[in-house]
């Protein structure tokens, strides 16, 4: 297990693809359960995704409450949580919102695609993922933004140079015919798993054989104390901490080191981070 030095705050990231008949009512219920925590949680008809922080006791109580049979009909039972200790408070407040999708990617095919299945056989636990990395007949695809890849990635991974998600779509469409013709499997990963789960049905619709890292990079770091064997650099996180090392420890990396001010796709992120730092 990773180095978990005592800290005042615990961060917990989670998601679940599951049909929600009334996302607004579900959001109200989740908001009540999360009272006293800080974080950001999104709900939609396809499920929920979020992250919260607070004392370890408060976070664990929230996680337990989410999985009770009386919470949203028990559809969140067994949901996975990725934990990391905090030096910097990750969030300044609690935000629970309802959106059309928990992750909006604008994939070709849209509603015609099968729904994501976060528990299908394409998900590889960290030990099996490590074994897959040793193969030379697999495309290792980073399913994140270019600035995230630049900060850190699995050794040997391809960078689709994503400034907007349409860049990922274009990259896959350009390479899919060759991958398909060669029978080359695609192994993709993202921070927590939700983006890969959303894109996997689309990649399969192109005739590709797909593997995913179960629980994403955060789960890999959580499960393997020697994750730096396979990972180089740091992992960007979308909260005030900015970056974690492979032992889930907050680093000293600053927004100016993460974002390229000369890149239009990153300049606004840098400006926003600077505003948050100044507030």
CA atoms 183, 108, 200, 220: torsion sign: positive
Dist CA 95 CA 81 (whole Å): 18
- Quick one: 171 exposed, middle or buried, by C-beta within 10 A (0-12, 13-18, 19+)? middle
Pairing outcome for strands 38-44 and 94-98:
parallel
Q: Where are the alpha helices (DSSP H) in the chain?
A: 23-33, 56-66, 126-133, 146-151, 165-182, 194-205, 216-223, 255-258, 264-278
CA atoms 139, 134, 214, 98: torsion sign: negative
- Residue of 80, 36, 90 lying closest to 62 (CA atoms): 36
Dist CA 102 CA 116 (whole Å): 12
Q: At residue 207, what are phi and psi to the nearest 5 degrees?
A: 85, 20
| Residue 196 annotated among the catalytic residues of the structure | no
Please answer whether residues 201 and 113 qualify as being in contact, where contact means their C-beta atoms are separated by less than 8 angstroms: yes
Dist CA 225 CA 102 (whole Å): 30
Dist CA 44 CA 173 (whole Å): 28
Q: Exactly one of 86, 190, 196, 235 is catalytic; which is it?
A: 190
What is the side-by-side strand order in the sheet with 9-17? 81-86, 9-17, 47-54, 38-44, 94-98
Residues assigned a catalytic role: 190
């Amino acid at each position: 297990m990773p180095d978990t030095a005592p800290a005042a705050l615990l961060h917990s990231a989670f998601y679940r693809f599951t049909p929600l008949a009334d996302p607004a009512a579900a959001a109200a219920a989740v908001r009540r359960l999360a009272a006293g925590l800080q974080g950001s949680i999104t709900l939609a008809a396809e499920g929920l995704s979020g992250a919260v922080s607070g004392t370890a006791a408060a976070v664990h109580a929230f996680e337990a409450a989410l999985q009770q049979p009386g919470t949203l009909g028990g559809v969140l039972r067994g949901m996975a949580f990725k934990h990391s200790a905090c030096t910097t408070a990750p969030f300044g407040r609690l935000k629970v919102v309802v959106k059309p999708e928990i992750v909006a990617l604008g994939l070709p095919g849209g509603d015609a695609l099968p729904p994501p299945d976060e528990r299908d056989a394409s998900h590889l636990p960290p030990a099996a993922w490590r074994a897959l990395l040793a193969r030379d007949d697999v495309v290792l695809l980073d399913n994140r933004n270019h600035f995230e890849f630049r900060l850190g990635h699995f050794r040997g991974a391809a960078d689709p140079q994503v400034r907007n998600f349409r860049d990922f779509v274009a990259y896959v469409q350009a390479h899919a015919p060759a991958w398909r013709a060669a029978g080359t499997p695609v192994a993709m990963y993202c921070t927590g798993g939700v983006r890969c789960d959303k894109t996997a049905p689309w990649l399969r619709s192109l005739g590709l054989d797909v593997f995913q890292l179960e629980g994403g990079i955060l789960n890999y770091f959580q499960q393997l104390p020697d994750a730096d064997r396979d990972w180089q650099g740091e992992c960007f996180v979308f909260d005030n901490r900015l970056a974690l090392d492979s032992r889930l420890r907050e680093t000293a990396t600053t927004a100016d080191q993460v974002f390229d001010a000369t890149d239009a796709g990153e300049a606004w992120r840098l400006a926003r981070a600077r505003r948050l730092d100044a507030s």
